Structure 1
Amino acid sequence: MDELKGILKVINLSEKLKYELRHSFLSNGRQESVAEHTWRVSLMAMLIEKYLSKPVDTEKLLKMIIIHDLVEAEAGDIPAFDTMNNEEVKRLKHENELMAIERIRDMLGTALGPDVYDLWMEFEGKESYEAKVANGLDKLEAQVQHNEAELSTWIDIEYDMCYMLDKHVDFEPSLMELKELILQQAEEKLNNGGIDVEAIKRRC
């Protein structure tokens, strides 16, 4: 019963992800929640699984995706561009998220807590095949969402970030192919918005 109480606490905590907002907007102009992002990364994993070049532990992959942003219920969402060139922000983000996953582990108790903690740490480590796939899909989904939003919601660094996806997906041919399709969408959006795509490519 005590462990079920802990599970319910984490379920209650996860509700915050429904209103914790990301720096992404939907096609209807509403800002995206963390929960919505996580749901579509999970969908992408399910749809891309059969096209991956290596066998994948689907259960682990989906669990990893589902819990990877759970820490943001406590630590909040920090956009990638805020940590790109700021080591102090990156350090604080990691410290806050580590404290959050430790608290979540402790809430869940000894039967479940260590498993959730280990999955989160594996995602962060980006060394296993499942962790790399989860990380790659996480980054691709973010770009898909930008492509679907109004160009006016993009900030300047996000023009460049279209061309920074390779390092997250170049280990897997199917993800590289998907990235190319997503990049084509981004370039079409930029071109239609009067943005000089060739200039972006040159500086990236």
Structure 2
Amino acid sequence: MNNIDKVIRFIKEIENLKSVTRTAWTKTGRRESTAEHSWRLAMLLMVLREDFKDLDIDKAIKMSLVHDLGELYDGDISAKLQNDNDNKA
């Protein structure tokens, strides 16, 4: 499998994040998807670039886009339901 095929396969896989709902709601009362959550966080970082010149914004944007990829397989687990003693390796 060449690189472009791997990229297309990855993009198709993460498209499913649009269907993963979180334990958070939009201002209209609809449950937010993981994709919406990650997109909004990345946008926030992008528009704050000038306010945080000492921060590596590009790295932070990348982190915001990948930080919830695991929800694709395990769903969103509310912080209220997580045990403080969980091993988050």
- After TM superposition, the score normalised by the length of structure 1 is 0.40
Contiguous gaps of at least 5 residues in structure 1 = 96-204
Return the offset for 1:56: 2.1
Return the offset for 1:23: 0.6
The answer to whether the 8 A contact 2:38-2:65 is kept is yes
The CA distance in 2 between the partners of 1:86 and 1:4, in whole Å, is 41
The answer to whether the 8 A contact 2:21-2:76 is kept is yes
Return the offset for 1:19: 0.9
Q: Deviations over 1:53-79 (max 9, x none)?
A: x52222222111111112211222111
Please name the residue that 1:24 is paired with.
24
Q: Deviations over 1:89-118 (max 9, x none)?
A: x33xx35xxxxxxxxxxxxxxxxxxxxxxx
Q: Deviations over 1:116-138 (max 9, x none)?
A: xxxxxxxxxxxxxxxxxxxxxxx
Please tell me the residue identity of whatever aligns with 1:66. Answer: L
Please name the residue that 2:66 is paired with.
67
The CA distance in 2 between the partners of 1:30 and 1:14, in whole Å, is 21
**Aligned pairs for 1:1-204 within 5 A:** 2-52=2-52, 55-83=54-82, 85-87=83-85, 90-91=86-87, 94=88
Please name the residue that 1:135 is paired with.
none
Q: Following TM superposition, where does structure 1 have runs of at least 4 consecutive aligned residues deviating by more than 4 angstroms? A: none
Return the offset for 1:42: 0.8
The CA distance in 2 between the partners of 1:33 and 1:70, in whole Å, is 12
Task: Give secondary structure in 1 for the equivalent of 2:3.
Answer: helix
Which structure's CA Rg is the greater one?
Answer: 1
Return the offset for 1:86: 4.5
Please tell me the residue identity of whatever aligns with 2:25. Answer: F
Task: Give secondary structure in 2 for the equivalent of 1:38.
Answer: helix
The CA distance in 2 between the partners of 1:71 and 1:5, in whole Å, is 22
Q: Deviations over 1:28-67 (max 9, x none)?
A: 2211101111111011101222222x52222222111111
The answer to whether the 8 A contact 2:22-2:75 is kept is no
The CA distance in 2 between the partners of 1:76 and 1:13, in whole Å, is 14
Q: Which has the higher contact order (CA 8 A, sep 6+)?
A: 2
Please tell me the residue identity of whatever aligns with 2:64. Answer: I
